[in-house]
Every structure is written in structure tokens, then in C-alpha cells.
Chains A and B, each alone.
Chain A
Amino acid sequence: MEPLTRIQREARPESMLINMGPSHPAMHGTLRIMLELDAEKILNAECEIGYLHRGFEKTCENKTYFNLLIYTDRLNYVSPLINNLGYVMTVEKMMGVTAPERAQLIRVLMSELSRVSDHLTCLAAMAMENGAFTVFLYMMKAREFIWDVIEFTTGARMTTSYIRIGGVRADLHPDWRGSLATAVRETRKVLKDVSGLLDKNSIFLGRTRGVGVMSKEDALSYGWTGPCLRSTGIPYDVRKAHPYLVYDRLQFEVPVGECGDNYDRYSVRMREMEQSLRLLEQVAALIPDAAPLGGGPAIEPAEALARSRLQRADERVRLSPNLEGSEKERLPGLTAPDPLVGVPAKEDTYTTMEGLISHFLFFMSGKGIRPPKGDVYFSVEGGNGEVGFYIVSDGTDKPYRLHLRAPCFHIVSALEQLIKGRFVADVIPTFGSMNMIGGELDR
């Protein structure tokens, strides 16, 4: 027999206790809300989280800095590239490494694509839970176009592990401009359609206007960041407050809401997507086209190996298709020159002794990326707010402690307060507009 929870202890004998989730379509699978009801009215509520606790932080303590990148993908799985970025830049801050200009621009491009995909997914789910299934289908369609751009370059749809310590893994896909233009155009169209469907829709307004109102003071006291904080009227955005990458050179606005209700959270996200699309266009104009690879036709690695027995081969070596974009010639623009930060060029690993040795030195346990002793905190603006990493290093190749400051942890902790005194039906839009992501909330 488990001990009683607070709500069970405090419940009035005449009221009804009801359980929502964790396996509930609107609870995204990983949140349980216990409600004390008087008919439809919520007298008291208690949230229980941890249903997706996957031991992220403990696992990271047992992985090398290079290897744990894949776990960061799966934190906020709707915008994995921003998590990559946050982690990678934290390590870079410790090691004093800066990514080359081209890599920085690509990182901004990828972050903004992820942000759009994050907001699209959040609003799609929120709209669907409120009964607007069309919006869900439209937004998912737009997300597919965004993911196409990501997939062409990174090779994966969601869990990309593309942004690496020191830079990025590979150059952009040769045809990235075309796919990006399509994605931006289609997303604009969808945003317009969705605005038309929801902005003045009286059912949607009825369920969101004046529901789940958060005051500025409470939002700060709960540690809210991101679109949810901005919906209360506080224009805090990490991209503006502590600019990283090239954000200080780009033009964008930080949309804010008025009263911090569900509708404001929806509209801030909608307007933010427009800003992100604007950013995407600016960045695309800033990224120069990649120069074509020189050095004649490429030869197979086996042949290069045979030739290198006689003399060092100068020809370009053909890489396997999944390494496309990370040819040796391209690497200087993509990763920092520090050999202890970036993976050594594959061509060298295939054909030369030194290359093979440096490959081993990078991946061997106890070697590779080893930030100096100390602790560091760094944050980037994620889809939900400030994604911060706190890393304690003891000078070895594994972090002594890695902690994620998850934005939606703070946001969801306010849910109890927001739904108290409201009706059961208000739980759904309020929760939907918060964009709870289990991987990030429970880690």
C-alpha cells in the first residue's frame, strides 16, 4: 500500500477524486494529474511526473563527451538540434573553442528550423486536443517540409546528432536552398490557413481566452522562460539577452503577449514562427554556396590504400555516402581547427598512418575531448525556453556531472496552480499550450 498523496490526504470527503493520465491522449503519455472535483469544478490538483525518467544525467556521467551527444537529441525530441547546440556550446565554452563562421550560420539555420518544428508540433497537438483536427493535419504537413530540409543535410529526420563539438558534422546538402525555399513557402501558407481557422474561431477562443491566466510575477516566480514567459508580456529571450552564434547580427523581433492566457501562448508561438522564418531567409542569404570539390575524380579507399604503399596518395578518396558533406576539403569551414575537438578527416584515417593514430587518439577511452577542470553553465533559447546545461568536469573524458535546466520542468510545475478553480475541460487547452515534452521534463 503506497502512502497517500497530498491530494488524497487533503480531499474533502464529499468531493470526487479523479485521475487523468498518464496514459491519456491529451497528457502526451507521461503526466498524471490527480483532480479533486466538485462536479465539473476543480477544487484541487496534483501533478505527478517522472513517467519518462530515463536516467539521462546518470547515463551522461558514464559516457564520453563525444558519445553522449546522442542522448541530448532525445531530450526535447521535437527540436533536437537546439539541444545539441546547447550541449555543444557548453563544452565549447569550457574548452575555449569557437566554431568557424560557416558552421555558426548553419547552426542558426538548424536552430530556427527546429524552433519552427517545435512550435508547429505544440500548436498542432494543442489544436487537436481542442477538437481542431484540420489544424493538426495542416501543421504536420508543414512539419514534413521542415524535416525534409533537415533530413537532406543531416541524414535523419529527428535524432540527427548533427551539431558537433567544434562545429557541425557535414556541409549542407547541395540542394538545400531549394528545399528550404519550399519549406518556408509551405509553412507560411499553413500559418496563414491556421490563423484563418483559429484566430477568430469562437470555440477555440472560448477555450483559450481568459483560461489559464498567468501573471508576470508568478511566471517569474515559477522560473518560466521562452514563449510562455513572453506570453505574459516579459520580453526575455536568450537570443537577445545573451546573444550567441550570430544572432546579434540578425534582425528579428521578440513577440510578447498581453495577459498570459492560453490564447496568448498560442499567438506568441504563431508570431514567433514568422520571426523564425524571417531569420531563416536572412541566414540563407548569408551562407555562401559551397565551392565544388577539387582534385579530379575520387578513387576508392582500397585503391588509395594500395597506392599509398608506394607513395602518399594525393587523390581525393571516395567516402561512403553517409559521410557526404564531411570531406576533408570541407572540414576547415565546418569544425574548429583544434585536433582534440573535431573528429579527424576520414580520408586520412583510411589512407595514412598518422590519420589512423589521430583517429584512435580521438576515440580511445581516456583520450579525446577533455575539458579542463571546473564547472560551467551555458544556455540557449530552445523551443520551450532557456535550455541550460550545467557541466562539472574533473579533467577526464567523461563529465563528472551533467545537469540539464529543462524549460518545461518549470512551466509544468505551474500547472497545478493554473487549473485550480477552473473546469475539467480547461485542463486540456492549458496543458496543451504549455508544450510539455516528456524527454525534457523527466530527463
Chain B
Amino acid sequence: MGQEILIEAIRAKLGPAVEGIADSYGDLVLILRPEAVRSALAALREMPFDYAVLLDLTCVDFAAGQGRLELVYHLYSLSRNVRLRLKASLPAADPAVETLVGLWKNAEWLEREVFDMFGVRFEGHPYLRRLLTYEGFEGHPLRKTYPWRLGQPRLPLKDDV
């Protein structure tokens, strides 16, 4: 599938869910409306697109200048050997998006990590709990507002100055 045909097909399939299409160093990037993330990814997973692997999910904090967080999904199609990047912007104040659990199995941990690090709520996630930090940790470390060196010990430390 050539790039133009692919973009045409995606536009036809997803319709208004796609807000924009960009190119970043040779990778195709789709900007999605946040409400449509789950349905769009579910459609892309099927033929003819066949993006069967959820390579990665992460988030970028643009809260300071633009008041938003940006979710970044990476998909990979084994049969066509291409990657696709999808982005969706969420408000920084109360970010929430529909979960991908049920579509991909690794989504459970990936979303828990993003919840832990950025505080994005994934609606419908069966077990949204902190993954890398611990119960009782306050704040979300990868938010730009979280101080880099603010530790939260779980037990009293000696000569803490």
C-alpha cells in the first residue's frame, strides 16, 4: 500500500476521528480526537491496515505552555512492516481517555504506567493502580511540575537533611 493510498484509506475509514496527518522523519503520524482513540485504534488493528502490534504507549507533558498532555501510541504492522504513530491531546487538568484493554493485552501495564507517571485516567481499565511507584506516592513524577529530586521515602531515613 502506497503512502497516499494508505492515508486515503485511513481517512475513509476513520472519518472525523482524524484531526490531522503529519510526517515526522519518515514516519506517518495521525492526530486523533481523544474521544475516538479506542474506536480508531480498533479499526486500525483490523484488515486492511493490520496494525496488529501495540509497540508502545507514552505521554508527553505540554501543560506549561499549552495546557495539555499528549498521548502517543505506536503501532506496528507485521505484514506490511510499517509503523504508525498516533497522538491525542488531553486537557492537563483532568486527563481521561478510554482504555485499550481488551484490544491489546499489553495495554494494561502500559496504561498503568502512564497513569502512574502522568495521572491520566483510563476509563474502563479494570485495575488502574500505580505500576512503577508505590501506594502512597503523591503526585506524578513525569509531570513537569514534579520536582526532579523530591523523594518520597517509605521508611524514615537516617540523617535526612
Contact = CB atoms under 8 A, between A and B. Distances in A.
Q: Do chains A and B touch in the complex (CB under 8 A)?
A: yes
Interface of A: 2-3, 5-6, 49-50, 53, 55, 57-59, 61-62, 93-94, 218, 220-223, 234, 236, 241-242, 374-377, 386, 388, 390, 392, 400-401, 403, 405, 409-410, 413-414, 417, 442-443
Nearest to B58: A403
A220 B25 contact: no
A413 B25 contact: no
A5 B142 CA distance: 24
Interface in B127-147: 127, 129-136, 141-142, 146
Contacts, number: 94
Given A58-B148, A59-B148, A234-B78, A50 B25 contact: no
Contact of A93 (B25, B58, B142): B25
Question: Which of A223, A236, A242 has the most CB atoms of chain B within a 10 A radius of its CB?
Answer: A223
Interface stretch (B8-16, B35-43, B91-99, B102-110): B102-110
A388 B141 contact: no
A223 B106 contact: yes
Nearest to B26: A93
A59 B147 CA distance: 11
Interface string B83-121: 101000000000000000000111011100000010000
Contacts of B25: 93-94, 374, 376
B3 interface: no
A2 B72 CA distance: 32
A401 B58 CA distance: 10
Given A58-B142, A388-B56, A392-B60, A410 B72 contact: no
Contacts of A53: 132-133
What 10 A-B pairs come out closest when comparing CB atoms? A50-B132, A53-B132, A413-B109, A223-B106, A405-B56, A403-B58, A221-B105, A401-B60, A2-B135, A222-B106
Nearest to B126: A6
Given A223-B55, A375-B24, A390 B74 contact: yes
Given A222-B105, A390-B74, A410-B106, A58 B141 contact: yes
A2 B136 contact: yes
